[in-house]
Chains A and B, each alone.
Chain A
């Protein structure tokens, strides 16, 4: 099971964090700091895996962003890499050739895509189409709601 997913920039700035196990804010911060440091210290020619405590960290760099997944000992590293790649593809499709700024300014959308792709640390939908349809459908509901939303609330 995926334990958590972190997105951070080359400068070590966190861009997204998704936790699939319950953690206090304090331990989240500690783990994040340690993992960002560990991953950023890796050289480019190194493998995408590192062992961290009793977890395995699988990471991959896309442009300026590191996508980083923590999985358990028995989990399949290559499948996790594919998961990461699939997520990047989803972002790319959704935003239309995604860049770091898209994720910064529309972080909630990036989270929504996560929620349609992965639930509770398990892949829930392997079809790109279905994931994007679910996200878009919900966006449409929001858009439809928006104008009346204001009037109703007044």
Chain B
């Protein structure tokens, strides 16, 4: 079959000779055999194709286009052939059309300009009598439809929805979605039709409609809430997993808007989770259950159980050997984590295991979960695991991810979970040993932050940093590829600032002075120089015989420092020179014996505190300062361009404000860029100018809240005597470490050591605690101990983790508060980056009436039928109820009516407005309701309604918030028959037992003539009812369909949960309608009592099928109606009279329209003509006259049916 084209070409070749060189196969073979000069071969082929396209012969052209399609796939541009493609598309032969449409769908896109030429051709194909031609046009269109085509062809596609072929309907439904995307205006008028397709007879069409509505609803869920009942029914009845998944996904989008929907969903979803074997369905159910649980955080009794079920199932997924399931399990787990972290924490072990997975994406997912799972107890263990992974892992991306995760996990909420800061500092130090990380800046900032915020850690940190400084050369070597050298920035600063904590300050100073500092980036150099001075100050002050020590020290420092004057970085150079000069002055003073060490300490006076991240922004702008004004003339454009990006980047969460960071950038940029051309500029500055600059800088330093000032000595000495217990343990561990597993001879404290130490401490604590609590059993083994004291663990925690004071938050300018007046940076960010989304345009309120001018203006000058008005009002009223729809609209019965309303009867909006403005006495109920509604739109109108106005009160009280499926316990079967008539879709109670209440509703459908009888089973027991089986004896005119055994329909998969409701559908094929029927029906069911004794029960009842249930709503225009009446086809006649006392004219009319499914053809003040058809297509015409009671004359083709129907009406209205 695939050789069809070849045959064509071969034949053509034979008759035309050398013109046709290649079939597609030849081309493909040629390309494969010219691997070396493919493009040359293809260029030649394209030239040939161009020749072929010039031929008149369509088969040659088609072959050429087919080859082009192949070339397009290989990536060659074939847009030049668009015209030829259209030519081939427009051929009469299906063969060529198929090729043409394929080429078009592959290479046309919405911008292709020849598309505007195709409109009529596509229209012709859409309406082609050949199903497959229309199918071709539709699949092509779905690929290249644009706004113009969508607008011009919308109606054609709409009309295909009513095609007799499911194949066409299915495609048209799917194509509609593309039409909506390209032409949002089409959505509203098309929606009723689309919705109708949800209940198409063909499951494929149904599925297509579900797909489309699911797509639409995911984007704008609130407009589709009203469809929830239909989808609920589909969900409970469908067995097609492809469709189920879509429906469940749709519910996932709807539940956030309607928590009650969620409550209703939990049960069927958990059932599915339990029962399904399809992983895709299971996964979708879990996702939707999670969405439900998020939307209803409270008030659901088995809420915990559902989470547990999800988590359990996810655990199974994660444990599966299939990587895909593992990945998705973790993904879903992270969603649960956001709302129910505790449930996820229980699976700590599993997630840690996933860190060992071979797949990086799975590891990253697991990592993402970890941050939500840490606690004081498990933090060390988790981080230790992560560290092990870090050493094992290969990809630097993953390693960096791990690193930032470790820091993120540890630092969250101002180190909330860290119990042992020595451990954390040693972790940070170990992280610096990672090669090639890009997070050096992050580590550095963490070290600074911890040292500043946690007083008790300073001594430990200081000495660790001193070791780093002593080994600074290690960082120089590796500094090219990584930013790890950044850590020296923190090390130098910490050692300087807290120099009083240094064990051997002289050694540290020596290390700092001996390092080849100048090879570091500028900002690190600057910090070095500044802090060298701090350390020197400390040594001088703390030394006993200040004079001699100071002299040696200072003169030594001066010699070393002079090297640094050659620094390439301006800022660093300047700092070096300042420090050097200060030292020179000091030396001079010492020589004159006039030196007072305290003068030096003044330089670094003051306490340093963390500053809140938003403090800068909260500093009030002084009066008269215009921040936007240029201080100097704006720089020229060209200068800006020369500034390259800085290689040293800080992480976002920094201690330092942005502008300060920028200073660093500029400083280093200047040094690297202007080194050659601009030193002249600097030398030209006079010393006076320099002094001035220095002066201003000092001043700005003084004013700058971020400038690091010196710490008071008294304070730093006080720090040494904190938390001696911890220090002891660290002291103990240090010598052990110096033997050192760590390379490069660093004498660092290993985090692992500290981890083990803390484990031992914990164990000791446990034992101690244990012995306190229960001295008798103190000698028992560890295992039993662990178990028994787990309950007391919380208490232990208090003792176990010493409360370490962490300075949280930060300083703010006076009067500013942390929470007040936050910037909404994030929102802005989102707003800016939001792409244009076509779905925004589809956010259309579908519950509003369509504002379409009726195709034919009503010729008769009679008032709108009352039913129409009331319908308008009901739509309007329900609108005010925040779109919680009336259940009438949801019920299948009224579906067709609704559609009709939208298209024909509903007058344009302005007409409605007119009515609202000037209520006429003819329609009192309408008028009142409108006024009430418009004046107090948001109040609950129903309570204010005057009683007795049937039409409006009824609909108002019934706006039951998607009751159909939500229905708590209050689906009240209407007791009075009168109300039943008004509410055709309300379920009528037909039978009950002590276990089960059965209500039913009937939906007729024609072609094939069927009745869909829906039983709503309400379980009154507290046990599950299942194994439902319905037995109906067939009659002459009706036959039960879809039977599992003769006269039986069983529903093995259905279980009705305690106090829940369930729908079951049975279908009857109808062969005759003449007489009303009462079918003997038996419903058997099994009650699963918890006591394990299942009991089988039966209910017997008569299923009432009155003649009125055979009627189907049909519209007919008045001319056709007149023709029908004047023709002699309606041979049967019948007449009844209803005494005026019982009902008034408008309400009878309304009842006939609603529960008997008649439509008003024509109406004048006190007379109306109505029309309907039976399921078998018999027309029924009624004439109502109001004169001394109501006279109803009926005409039909079916005598018995008509008389029985009228009899039924008569009894009803009595």
Contact = CB atoms under 8 A, between A and B. Distances in A.
Interface of A: 1, 14-20, 22-25, 29, 32, 43, 45-50, 74, 76-79, 81-82, 104-109, 111-112, 115, 119-120, 122-127, 130, 134, 136-143, 145-146, 149-150, 152-154
Contact of B360 (A46, A115, A141, A150): A46
B93 A130 contact: no
Given A108-B69, A120-B177, A22 B4 contact: no
Contact of A111 (B1, B24, B28, B106): B106
Q: Size range of the interface on B?
A: 35 or more
B95 A145 contact: yes
Contacts of B279: 78
A149 B75 contact: no
A47 B144 contact: no
Interface string B1-16: 1101101100110000
A49 B361 contact: yes
A4 B906 CA distance: 42
Contact of A119 (B69, B132, B138): B138
B11 A150 contact: yes
Given A74-B218, A76-B249, A134-B167, A45 B323 contact: yes
Given A76-B249, A130-B204, A145-B95, A45 B359 contact: yes
B1137 to A, nearest CB: 55
A49 B218 CA distance: 22
Nearest to A17: B73
Contact of B324 (A47, A123, A142): A47
Interface in B341-379: 358-362
Contacts of A47: 323-324, 326-327, 359, 361-362
Given A45-B358, A146-B95, A122 B326 contact: no
A29 B75 contact: yes
A76 B324 contact: no
Contacts of A109: 1-2
A51 B258 CA distance: 31
B245 A79 contact: yes
B57 A143 contact: no
A131 B662 CA distance: 63
Contacts of B240: 126
A64 to B, nearest CB: 14
4 closest A-B pairs (Cβ-Cβ)? Answer: A78-B280, A120-B142, A47-B327, A47-B323
A115 B388 CA distance: 51
Interface in B102-145: 102, 105-107, 109-111, 130, 132, 135-136, 138-139, 142-144
B242 interface: yes
B284 A79 contact: yes
Nearest to B103: A108
Given A47-B326, A141-B130, 18 more contacts: A16-B73, A20-B142, A20-B143, A25-B77, A25-B109, A46-B361, A48-B323, A48-B324, A78-B279, A104-B32, A108-B102, A119-B142, A122-B212, A124-B170, A138-B132, A146-B95, A149-B59, A153-B57
27 contacts: A16-B73, A22-B110, A45-B323, A45-B358, A46-B358, A47-B324, A47-B326, A47-B327, A49-B361, A76-B245, A78-B279, A79-B245, A81-B324, A104-B32, A108-B24, A108-B66, A119-B138, A119-B171, A119-B175, A120-B174, A122-B177, A124-B208, A134-B132, A139-B1, A141-B130, A150-B11, A150-B12
B272 interface: no
A105 B7 CA distance: 15
Nearest to A133: B167
A22 B208 contact: no
Contacts of B1212: none
A99 B106 CA distance: 23
Interface string B309-339: 0000000000000011011100000000000
Contacts of A115: 102, 105, 136, 139
B732 interface: no
Contact of B7 (A76, A104, A146): A146
Contact of B207 (A14, A49, A104, A126): A126
Contacts of A134: 132, 135, 167
Interface string B211-253: 1100100100000000000000000000010100100010011
Contacts of A111: 102, 106
Given A49-B324, A145-B94, A122 B174 contact: yes
Nearest to B359: A46
B175 A112 contact: no
Given A108-B102, A119-B142, A14 B94 contact: no
A154 B60 CA distance: 11
B25 interface: yes
A71 B425 CA distance: 44
B415 interface: no
Given A76-B249, A108-B102, A124-B174, A49 B58 contact: no
Nearest to B330: A47
B79 interface: yes
Q: Which of A14, A120, A140 has the most CB of B within 10 A?
A: A120
B988 interface: no
Contact of A78 (B70, B99, B102, B283): B283
B358 A76 contact: no
A79 B284 CA distance: 9
Contacts of B362: 46-47
A79 B242 contact: yes
A122 B358 contact: no
Nearest to B171: A119
Given A23-B109, A78-B279, A78-B283, A49 B327 contact: yes
B146 interface: yes
Contacts of A76: 245, 249, 280, 283-284
B725 interface: no
Question: Which of B32, B79, B135 has its CB near the most chain A CB atoms (within 10 A)?
Answer: B135
B28 A104 contact: yes
B699 to A, nearest CB: 50
A16 B11 CA distance: 29
Interface string B80-100: 000000000000011110110
Interface in B627-682: none
B386 to A, nearest CB: 21
A97 B154 CA distance: 41
B177 A79 contact: no
Contacts of B361: 46-47, 49-50
Interface in B1-51: 1-2, 4-5, 7-8, 11-12, 24-25, 28, 32
Nearest to B322: A47
Contacts of B252: 74
Interface centre among A23, A74, A81, A149 (most CB of B within 10 A): A149
A136 B98 CA distance: 13
Nearest to B362: A47
Contact of A120 (B5, B106, B178): B178
Given A79-B242, A79-B280, A134-B132, A107 B75 contact: no
B862 interface: no
B1120 interface: no
B280 A149 contact: no
Nearest to B327: A47
A19 to B, nearest CB: 7
Nearest to A106: B2
Given A119-B139, A125-B170, A112 B177 contact: no
Nearest to A77: B328
B718 interface: no
A150 B59 contact: yes
A22 B146 contact: yes
Interface string B956-986: 0000000000000000000000000000000
B907 to A, nearest CB: 35
Contacts of B625: none
B1170 to A, nearest CB: 41
Contacts of A15: 73
B28 A14 contact: no
Contacts of A145: 93-95
